[in-house]
Amino acid sequence: MPLSSHTETLWIDTPHGRLFCSRWYPAQSPDNGQKPPIILFHDSLGCVTLWRDFPQQLCQATGREVIAYDRLGFGQSDVYPGPLPLTFIRDEAERFFPYLETALQIERFVALGHSVGGAMAAACASRFHQQCAALITVAAQAFVEDRTLQGIREAQVQFAQPGQMARLERYHGTKAPWVFNAWTQTWLGENYRHWTIEHSVDAIHCPLLVLHGEHDEYGSVAHPQQLATLSSAPSECLILDDCYHVPHREAPDVVLKAVGRFLDAHP
């Protein structure tokens, strides 16, 4: 069957700037409208476009609407006004996500986040505990680990090579240097060294699925193990064989099957 294609793109006005958003709708079925949509939270260098075909695949596999948006400062969204604050993960849940929820008239949702987007998804699940039906994290970090910092330092070396920043500019335009510095300078900064997921997330009460690649270059399996303890509801932790930091691109069938099974069990 052909993949579902997104049928709507829009901009959401906030007092801080406009957010770019895309929505994918499944083929019509009697229960489509009753299934909470899946909202995607991208990683530190990500945006809607860099999800590639995963939202369409997810929409088709689950029969749910899928929503992805560019955080302020990323992709097609407006420029972030100033440096990224150390509270940026919790800020996403408290300062930005509410405008998305209101504009799209979302009553219930499933939060799915990749890398730091996983922490943001968790923060939204905590902040909007009555509306969040389930939480899924993919390659998310729970604390600042030496392995995390080493991976970021290696990325710095890579992006210093000719043409590498131009690759980022294809997705973020003139905001690319800010995007890159927001990631590297925040995580490598001494003031962020003692951050843990508990600094950004309060209690979580919805079912939780934690996915993590066994070879993730930005975090050991200690991260998913810690994340799996966050929720008081049923939690599941899956370590994915032969995967690194982007399991939904490296093993999409495995990820889609796990997500579909989890959501079927926790509708």
| CA trace torsion 230, 235, 239, 243 (10° rounding) | -80
Nearest to 244 by CA among 151, 182, 168, 156: 151
Is the CA virtual torsion 243, 67, 177, 171 positive or negative?
A: positive
Within a domain: 83: yes
Give me the CATH number covering residue 205: 3.40.50.1820
Domain count, the chain: 1
Residue 6: is it exposed, middle or buried by C-beta count within 10 angstroms (0-12/13-18/19+)? middle
Q: How far apart are CA 187 and CA 82, in angstroms?
A: 17
Q: How far apart are CA 130 and CA 26, in angstroms?
A: 25
Residues of the chain with pLDDT under 70: 1-6, 28-33
Within a domain: 197: yes
210 CB contacts (<8 Å, ≥6 apart)? 136, 137, 140, 224, 227, 228, 235, 236, 237, 238
Helix (H) or strand (E) holding 239: strand 235-240
- Residue in the structure block whose two tokens are 């829009």: 10
Within a domain: 150: yes
Within a domain: 1: no
Within a domain: 89: yes
Q: How far apart are CA 114 and CA 182, in angstroms?
A: 17
Assigned token pair, 250: 């490296």
Can you give the pTM of this predicted structure?
0.95
Within a domain: 10: yes
Quickly list H helices, 83-234: 88-91, 97-103, 116-127, 146-159, 164-172, 176-188, 222-227
SS3 12: strand
What pLDDT, on a 0 to 100 scale, did the predictor assign at position 33?
Answer: 61
Range of the domain at 38: 6-265
What pLDDT, on a 0 to 100 scale, did the predictor assign at position 1?
Answer: 44
Within a domain: 190: yes
Within a domain: 164: yes
What pLDDT, on a 0 to 100 scale, did the predictor assign at position 32?
Answer: 54
